[in-house]
Every structure is written in structure tokens, then in C-alpha cells.
């Protein structure tokens, strides 16, 4: 299909998002931007969070990995299901009881101001790296499929997409995202189902026959039983549980939308519904990945990994599917990127700049500060995406999960210590402890062949990171009676 037509489709889609943003953001204020005035409907939040949880990386990388790894990624999703239960019944009651706007304020109340700001800083670092890595993957595909054909450079494509995201999040924030995420999740899931139908048709298979072929070629395997492997089922399930707790329950972007729901009960229903839907949706992505691998083998296609899905769509499927793929891909991207930009703005304004703690600032001044921070993070996104283009990692999902293990581990340790103990930490030392955990894990990861032999550390590095921070906090703390 002509790149010009695909470009027009993208522009029309952006126009629809801007229309939704205009409609929802007309009466928005700072409370709307940060927590949606606590008036969001829980079902809309749950449905929209599917797109935020999955992102464009899931849309591309998960299907692309099936040919090599089978369905073993589902082990992580099973672990995440248990993690969502912890979020619903442990973290959410805490957040609602304290009536938080930024979830990191809990660390201020429980451990101290410097610990609180250290936790917020780790979130800002982690979400900035993760969001730009996800955004880079989708921008790269759009560049290859559309913009190269129009002669537009990569940096201009990135700047245009970031401009669109800024425009529709600038005023309404969370209040707008609840509705745009719902729209985009619908488009993403619709595109997923249609792609499955078309690939099945090209293979001349029904559901039963396709599943039999996947089993025959060992692509339908879910559980890995090699205890030394990074994908050993116990490691993956445990890691998945803590990934959900850290990357959803301790993540301002995800919780910012959840606590925009009026009551705790509805927020819990939101998380529980999300946990069940995620199981189904990821299974569909894995099934699609198996079909794509079968199709690639049948036509002698050599591209794999992140290039598999777009390679099949643009090389072998009709123009209609190409348009739907682009819409679904953008829809998978934006709930993650726009939510990250909004959450980073919120966290920096509230946690680092402390605008809510400064009574001398009126509403207009706080809004001006928020706008400047919002635009500044968009500029940071642009710089980091260009850095990822230079690095060009072949599998972005592995890179993102590795980054999460290093940067969310301190949050896991800080919150666990604050919730599970009553001990009082030396606040001025806590940031150094939070920094020491990931540095020790980095050394262990680098030297693991010499230290651990055949055993390979996988995503359980996140749990180890959190445990090291927890242990360090214990060493610099005392019982409350000795305060």
C-alpha cells in the first residue's frame, strides 16, 4: 500500500484522539490532570489499562519471540495474575486509606522525605527509560513502513508523534487518558483479532488444525523445566508476580489511573478485571505469534523477532490488513507513551518540586509549572528515542524487562520495608541504600558466569534487587521505641 495513504490514516487517527482530548479536557484543572477528579468509572479504567499494560512492545515482540521461545512468556503472565491480587488487597487499601495523589508520598509518611524523593526518582528513571524504549520500537516500524517512503527523517517522525501526544494530554491529563486509552485498547484488540483471522485464512487452517501444528512444532509449550535456564517456570512465575507488583502497583502511571476511581471497592474490581483479561489477551498474542511463525516458514521468510509481525503484514497480507495493523500498532503504543508522559509530569511536580506542599503557589502558577515540566519530558523522550535508535537492540521486550529489574527493584524494597516493618530508618542514608541494590545486581549480572556457573539469573533479578534494598534498610534502621 502507498505510504501516503498510510500516513493519511495515521493523521486521521491523531485527529480523532485530539477530538476526544478537546471534549474531555474543556473543564480540566490540576486535579483533573493528576487524578481525574477521582470520578473515573472502574470498568473504563480497567479496559484502558490493558493497552497501557501491553504497549507496542507486546504487540510486536511477544509474537516475534514465539518461534524461538514458544509460549513460555505466559509463565510471566501467570505470575502477574498473583501480583495483581497483592495490588488489589494489599496496596490499594493502603493508597485509599492515606488518600494519596502520588503513591510515593507513602514513603514520606512512613520513612522520611529523602527516602520519598529517592523512590520518586527511581520511578522517573525507570518509566522514562521504559516508555522511550517502547516508543522507539513503534516509531521505528512506522518509519520503515510509511515515512521512509515519504522521505521524512526518523527524528522528524519521532518529534511529530511526541507533539501529538503532548497536544492531547497537555490539558486533561488522567481525565482525558481514561477515554483515549479505552478507544485505543478497542482498536488494538480489534486489530489483533482481525490479524489472527487473516493469517489463519492465508494458512488455510482452522483453530483446531493450527493448534495441532503449533504443538507438532513445539511452539505451544508453556512451561520450561530446566532449572538452570532463565525461563525456568518457577523463576518466571515468581518474577511475573513481582513485576506486576513493581511495574503496576508501585508505578505512578498505572496507579494514577486506578486511584482516579472514586471508591476502593471499585478500584479493586478494576484490578481484578484487568488480571483476568490480561490472561486472555496475552494468550491471543502468543497464538498469533505461532501463526506468524508457521506462515513465515511456509513462504521461506527469514525475518524473525521484532521484524516478524510487520514483515508478514507488509510483505504478504492485503492493504486492508496493513491499515488495520498500523491503527492497532499506534493504539498499542499510545496508552503507554501518553500515560508515561502524564505520570512523569505528575510525579516530578508533586514529588520532586513539591507544588502541592507549597501554599504560596496559586492554581495558575502550579499549572504553568506543570506545563513546563510536561514539555521538558517530551524533549527528554525525543533524545532517548534517538539514543535507542543508535543502540538498535533486536528484542526490545527483553531490554525493557531487564531495565525494570534494575530500576523497579529499589521501589520494591522501599515499599516492602515500609509496609512489612515498623522500623525507623536513617532517612539521609536510605537513598544510598536504594542506589546500592541495583549496583550490586549489575555486578552480579555481569559476573554471573564466573560466580554461578551454569545457573542463569533471569527476571528474578528484580526480586533479588528488592531484597538487597530491604536488607540494607534493615541495617540502617532501629525499632520505633528507639527513635
Asked whether residue 428 is domain-assigned, the answer is no
Backbone angles phi, psi at 223, to 5 degrees: -105, 130
Find the domain containing 179 and state its range.
3-393
Asked whether residue 418 is domain-assigned, the answer is no
Q: Is 170 helix (H, G, I), strand (E, B) or coil?
A: coil
**pLDDT over 90 (residue 475):** yes
Asked whether residue 431 is domain-assigned, the answer is no
Q: What is the pLDDT of residues 234-267, one digit of tens each?
A: 888 988 898 889 888 888 877 877 877 778 888 8
Q: Is 35 helix (H, G, I), strand (E, B) or coil?
A: helix
For the whole model, what pTM was predicted?
0.77
What is the C-alpha to C-alpha distance for residues 483 and 476, in angstroms, rounded to an integer?
Answer: 12
Asked whether residue 466 is domain-assigned, the answer is no
Asked whether residue 74 is domain-assigned, the answer is yes
Residue with cell 486509606: 97
Report the number of distinct structural domains present in the chain.
1
Rounded to 5°, angle at Cα 80 from 215 and 39: 130
Q: What is the pLDDT of residues 27-82, one digit of tens each?
A: 554 554 555 445 566 666 666 677 667 665 677 778 888 888 888 889 989 999 99
CATH number at residue 259: 1.20.1730.10
| Contact between residue 142 and residue 3 where contact means Cβ atoms under 8 Å apart | no
Q: Is 203 helix (H, G, I), strand (E, B) or coil?
A: helix
How, if at all, do strands 424-425 and 477-478 pair?
antiparallel
What is the C-alpha to C-alpha distance for residues 328 and 59, in angstroms, rounded to an integer?
Answer: 9
Q: Which of 197-211, 216-230, 407-421, 453-467 has the lowest mean pLDDT?
A: 453-467
- Looking at per-residue pLDDT, the higher value among 458 and 108 belongs to 108
pLDDT at 84: 93
Asked whether residue 399 is domain-assigned, the answer is no
DSSP codes of every residue in 124-150 = HHHHHHHHHHHHHHHHHHHIIIIIGGG
Residue with cell 512492545: 57
Asked whether residue 129 is domain-assigned, the answer is yes
Asked whether residue 168 is domain-assigned, the answer is yes
What is the C-alpha to C-alpha distance for residues 179 and 460, in angstroms, rounded to an integer?
Answer: 35
Amino acid at each position: 500500500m502507498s505510504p501516503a495513504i498510510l500516513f493519511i490514516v495515521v493523521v486521521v487517527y491523531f485527529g480523532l484522539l485530539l477530538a476526544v482530548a478537546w471534549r474531555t479536557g474543556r473543564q480540566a484543572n490540576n486535579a483533573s490532570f493528576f487524578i481525574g477528579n477521582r470520578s473515573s468509572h472502574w470498568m473504563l479504567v480497567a479496559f484502558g489499562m490493558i493497552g497501557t499494560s501491553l504497549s507496542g512492545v507486546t504487540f510486536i515482540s511477544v509474537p516475534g519471540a514465539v518461534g524461538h521461545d514458544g509460549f513460555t512468556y505466559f509463565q510471566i503472565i501467570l505470575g502477574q495474575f498473583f501480583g495483581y491480587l497483592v495490588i488489589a488487597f494489599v496496596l490499594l487499601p493502603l493508597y485509599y486509606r492515606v488518600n494519596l495523589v502520588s503513591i510515593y508520598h507513602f514513603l514520606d509518611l512512613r520513612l522520611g522525605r529523602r527516602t520519598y524523593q529517592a523512590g520518586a526518582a527511581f520511578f522517573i528513571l525507570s518509566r522514562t527509560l521504559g516508555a522511550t524504549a517502547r516508543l522507539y520500537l513503534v516509531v521505528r516500524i512506522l518509519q520503515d513502513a510509511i515515512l521512509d517512503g515519504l522521505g521524512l527523517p526518523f527524528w522528524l517522525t519521532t518529534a511529530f508523534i511526541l507533539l501529538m501526544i503532548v497536544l492531547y494530554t497537555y490539558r486533561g491529563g488522567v481525565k482525558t487518558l481514561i477515554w483515549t486509552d479505552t478507544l485505543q485498547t478497542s482498536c488494538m484488540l480489534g486489530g489483533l483479532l482481525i490479524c489472527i483471522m487473516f493469517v489463519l485464512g492465508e494458512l488455510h487452517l482452522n483453530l483446531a488444525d493450527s493448534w495441532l501444528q503449533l504443538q507438532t512444532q513445539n511452539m505451544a509449550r508453556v512451561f520450561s523445566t530446566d532449572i538452570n535456564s532463565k525461563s525456568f517456570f518457577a523463576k518466571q512465575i515468581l518474577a511475573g508476580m513481582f513485576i506486576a507488583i513493581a511495574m503496576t502497583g508501585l508505578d505512578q502511571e498505572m496507579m494514577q489511573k486506578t486511584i482516579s476511581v472514586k471508591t476502593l471497592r471499585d478500584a479493586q474490581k478494576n484490578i481484578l478485571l484487568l488480571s483476568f483479561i490480561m490472561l486472555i489477551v496475552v494468550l491471543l498474542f502468543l497464538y498469533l505469534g505461532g501463526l506468524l511463525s508457521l506462515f513465515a516458514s511456509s513462504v521461506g521468510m527469514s525475518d524473525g523477532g521484532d521484524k516478524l509481525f510487520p514483515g508478514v503484514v507488509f510483505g504478504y497480507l492485503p492493504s486492508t490488513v496493513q491499515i488495520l495493523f498500523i491503527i492497532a500498532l499506534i493504539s498499542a503504543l499510545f496508552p503507554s507513551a501518553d500515560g508515561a508522559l502524564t505520570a512523569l509530569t505528575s510525579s516530578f511536580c508533586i514529588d520532586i518540586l513539591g507544588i502541592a506542599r507549597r501554599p504560596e503557589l496559586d492554581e495558575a502558577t502550579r499549572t504553568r509549572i506543570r506545563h513546563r515540566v510536561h514539555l521538558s519530558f517530551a524533549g527528554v523522550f525525543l533524545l532517548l528515542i534517538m539514543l535507542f535508535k543508535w543502540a538498535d537492540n533486536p528484542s526490545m521486550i527483553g531490554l525493557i524487562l531487564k531495565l525494570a529489574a534494575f530500576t523497579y527493584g529499589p521501589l520494591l524494597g522501599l515499599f516492602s520495608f515500609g509496609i512489612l516493618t515498623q522500623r525507623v530508618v536513617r532517612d539521609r542514608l536510605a537513598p544510598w541504600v536504594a542506589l546500592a541494590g541495583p549496583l550490586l545486581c549489575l555486578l552480579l549480572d555481569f559476573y554471573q558466569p564466573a560466580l554461578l556457573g551454569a545457573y542463569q539469573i533471569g527476571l528474578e533479578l528484580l526480586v533479588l534487587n528488592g531484597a538487597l534494598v530491604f536488607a540494607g534498610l534493615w541495617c540502617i534502621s532501629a525499632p520505633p521505641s528507639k527513635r
